[in-house]
Amino acid sequence: MADDIPRSTYAGLPAVTPVGDGLMKQMYIQSCSFGKDSLASVLLAKKHGDPLDEAVYCEVMFDSKTSGEVPEHRDFIYDTAIPALERMGVKVVVLRSEQTYVGLFTGRITRGPKKGMVRSFPICGRCAVQRDCKMKPIRKYQKSLPADTVQYVGIAKDEQDRLLRLGGGSVSLLDKYNYTEQDARSLCEKAGLLSPIYEFSDRGGCWFCPNAKKKELRHLYDHHPDLWARMLELQAIPGKATEKFNRTQTFTDIDELFRNEDEQLPIAA
């Protein structure tokens, strides 16, 4: 919640300082998920003296009180990463949408053949959560910045397909300084800024993401039964437009899979 991060800026809009005749100075911002690539980009900017005004992070929320970040990663963000960046003199801006995963899930379809049904789980590849809970607040924030703002993005030297898709105004400092994904990870490790999420996943993302791999879901099942139970509660809501959590399974299917796996484990002597 905003009260949990008193030293950072929790914002829908930034405070921008006019320069000269009402013109805004050019800004340099880091788009930051607090994964290895975006944090390595911040570290490189500070090391080489590249201008950096803000690190901007958008937190997707499960409901009004529960973060969509895997709990270990959220704790790392607020207890370790944000304080470390602020000690470096980097302003951190935290954005959140008024919309949440639960709000989207329980909303009603207003038109078409499924009108009146509960919207249910987001569709893989057309994620309404990404659209409404992440991109909307980010775009709103971007519109308030100077038109010539430079955005640093955490894309490594060995991610050529992503680098080729970079639009104007976006810059990869990892590419500029020839850092691969492994280099980024090593840099974060040396700085004590590698998220614990990499102990059980090779990616960041919401704990309710339909693209989550089995090992990520297994971690949630084993270590966060309260969050797991919330997903089973949503699965049980009647009148949903779809029962599928991902392309092939309901959340109940996944729960049964893990329960069966546990039952087949040998009992320790």
Residues of the chain with pLDDT under 70: 1-24, 267-269
**Whole-model pTM?**
0.87
Report how far residue 259's alpha carbon sits from residue 202's, in angstroms, rounded to the nearest whole number: 24
Contact 54, 27 (CB under 8 A): yes
The pLDDT score that the predictor gives to residue 24 is: 65
The pLDDT score that the predictor gives to residue 23 is: 58
Side-chain half-sphere of 263: how many Cα atoms within 13 Å?
A: 6
Q: Are strands 91-95 and 150-152 parallel, antiparallel or unpaired?
A: unpaired
What's the token pair of residue 33? 């998920």
Question: In this structure, what are the phi and psi dihedrals at residue 52, rounded to the nearest 5 degrees?
Answer: -150, 115
The pLDDT score that the predictor gives to residue 15 is: 40
* Three-class SS state of 229: helix
> In 3D, which of 195, 157, 205 has the Cα closest to residue 44?
157
Residue 27 has a CB neighbour count (10 Å cut-off) of 18
Nearest-5° angle of CA 55, CA 96, CA 60?
95
> Each residue of 167-221: pLDDT tens digit?
888 999 999 999 999 999 999 999 999 999 999 998 888 999 999 999 999 999 9
The pLDDT score that the predictor gives to residue 259 is: 96
Side-chain half-sphere of 37: how many Cα atoms within 13 Å?
A: 21
Report how far residue 76's alpha carbon sits from residue 71's, in angstroms, rounded to the nearest whole number: 8
Query: Side chain identity at 268, as an amino acid letter?
Result: A
The pLDDT score that the predictor gives to residue 268 is: 54
> Each residue of 241-260: pLDDT tens digit?
999 999 999 999 999 999 99
